[in-house]
Amino acid sequence: MTDSVVDLAKELKNGAVEALPAGRLEEQLEESRPLRVKLGIDPTAPDIHLGHCVVLDKLADFQRSGHEVVLIIGDYTARVGDPSGRDSQRPVLAPTEIESNARTFQDQAFKILDPERTTVRFNSEWLDMPMEDLFRLLGSVTVAQVLERDDFDKRIKADLPISVLEILYPLLQGYDSVAIRSDVELGGTDQKFNLLLGRDVQRSYGVPEQSIMCMPILPGIDGKQRMSKSLGNYVGVTDPPEEIFGKLMSIPDDAMPSYYDLVLRREVPGELSPNEAKRELGRSVVARFHGESAAERAEARFDQIHVSGEIPEDVEEHSLAGFADPEGSVHLPLLISKLFGVSSSEARRLIEQGGVKLDGSPISAEHGLDLPVSELSGKVLQVGKRRFAALQD
């Protein structure tokens, strides 16, 4: 094996937790051909967050090395629901929601991947199969193999149900690897079982078995659980610059090494204090997705709100027209829901917790959830730490 192959494999595996089977990637690279590198993502949510970027960045590494990248949008597997890391079955999304998420997800992925050198496939192309083909797929692995996964083993021991749909999921993901004849498949460490099972499915169909690469999982801004939109601890790549900066300033100090390593791909500068390191992280991430000037404005806005305690000068104006009832009152949860994209129940919770302010003063739920237009007009409504709206009648 040549030194150049060993060096390239080392470079591509940099940052990965595991590359399996051992030595397989080197063997593939020695063939001196572009490898077909696969990443499958189910569009169960519309937005890409920094946790997704860890794997997408590695996919981009392969792309820059001249390999063929295939991004599989799991519009069909999303109907089943990946059981990885779950102690219950995922809720099934409506087809229209999956389709909408898929379009958004694809657009956002191209903030990281080169769209001119990325092949995008939807697994409904091959998974909407005749029953005869499904029977063959089901016969490619045993029930014992599927039930070996930790998620299922824990649920069996806890006497929690496992649906047949969930058992089917890793087979469907494995068939994706058959359909595109993938050489390498990437995923998070929670995907290890699915990725390895894909090799078994490929072998059953006489397709050369892929190597796999497991990437580390980024913790959420709470520093505890994995980053997830459903947990509310995420930083979306299309979040407003001030949202990104503010969220990253809130992460615990002990999570900083993970963010620097997985997001910035470098170590925390030893000369920086935790606060300065977070600022550098925030500026770098905002600059990547919104530009340098946006990063400067986001930091200045953060200081204005959180250091000086001021209300920003550039707050967007919103008309109260259409929100008032015949008696001239506005239902605050509805107003907050429409202006800031949160649910009415979440808006009520924020009000009850003192997280909603009017010109800097908390709104008390004791005074009711309906306020006259006259008390709202000309004032700034603040929801949480970073969202503002200037209200006009």
Q: Would you call 209 exposed, middle or buried from its count of C-beta atoms within 10 A (0-12, 13-18, 19+)?
A: middle
pTM of the model: 0.78
What does the pLDDT average to over 183-199? 94
What does the pLDDT average to over 48-70? 96
Residue 17: pLDDT band (50, 70, 90) is very high
Share of the chain above pLDDT 90, in %: 53
Model pLDDT, residue 99: 84
Model pLDDT, residue 308: 62
**Which has more pLDDT, 364 or 57?**
57
Q: Which of 192-201, 212-221, 309-318 shows the lowest mean pLDDT across its residues? A: 309-318
**Which has more pLDDT, 87 or 105?**
105
Q: Does residue 229 register a pLDDT over 60?
A: yes
Model pLDDT, residue 310: 66
In the chain the domains, ranked by start, together with CATH numbers, are 3-215 (3.40.50.620), 241-307 (no CATH), 317-392 (3.10.290.10)
**Which has more pLDDT, 63 or 94?**
63
Determine the Cα–Cα distance for residues 37 and 71; give it in Å rounded to an integer: 8
Model pLDDT, residue 329: 83
Q: Does residue 18 register a pLDDT over 80?
A: yes
**Rounded-to-5 percentages of helix, strand, coil across the chain:** 50, 15, 35
304 DSSP 8-state letter: I
Do residues 186 and 109 make contact, with C-beta atoms less than 8 angstroms apart?
A: no
**Which has more pLDDT, 94 or 138?**
138
Q: What is the 3-state secondary structure (H, E, C) of 228-249?
A: CCCCCCCCECCCCHHHHHHHHH
Do residues 151 and 89 make contact, with C-beta atoms less than 8 angstroms apart?
A: no
Q: Which of 111-115, 159-163, 232-236, 240-244 shows the lowest mean pLDDT across its residues? A: 159-163
DSSP-assigned states of every residue in 324-391: B-TTSEEEHHHHHHHHH---HHHHHHHHHTT-EEETTEEPPGGG-SEEEHHHHTTSEEEETTTEEEEE
Nearest-5° angle of CA 331, CA 333, CA 335?
Answer: 70
Residues 24-56 pLDDT 10s = 999 999 999 999 999 998 887 778 899 999 999
What angle do helix axes 332-340 and 344-352 make, rounded to 10 degrees?
120
**Which has more pLDDT, 95 or 294?**
294
**Which has more pLDDT, 320 or 312?**
320
**Which has more pLDDT, 141 or 305?**
141
Model pLDDT, residue 367: 64
Model pLDDT, residue 86: 46
Q: Does residue 87 register a pLDDT over 60?
A: no
Q: Does residue 90 register a pLDDT over 60?
A: no
Q: Does residue 59 register a pLDDT over 50?
A: yes
What does the pLDDT average to over 314-327? 79
Q: Would you call 273 exposed, middle or buried from its count of C-beta atoms within 10 A (0-12, 13-18, 19+)?
A: exposed
Average pLDDT, the chain: 88
Residue 88: pLDDT band (50, 70, 90) is very low
Determine the Cα–Cα distance for residues 288 and 111; give it in Å rounded to an integer: 9
Residues 337-380 pLDDT 10s = 888 877 787 888 888 888 888 877 788 767 678 888 778 877 78
**Which has more pLDDT, 320 or 57?**
57
Residue 92: pLDDT band (50, 70, 90) is low
Instruction: Tell me the C-alpha to C-alpha distance, in Å, between residue 177 and each of 20, 99, 103.
Output: 16, 22, 22
Determine the Cα–Cα distance for residues 18 and 318; give it in Å rounded to an integer: 51
Query: Which H or E run includes 200?
Result: helix 192-204
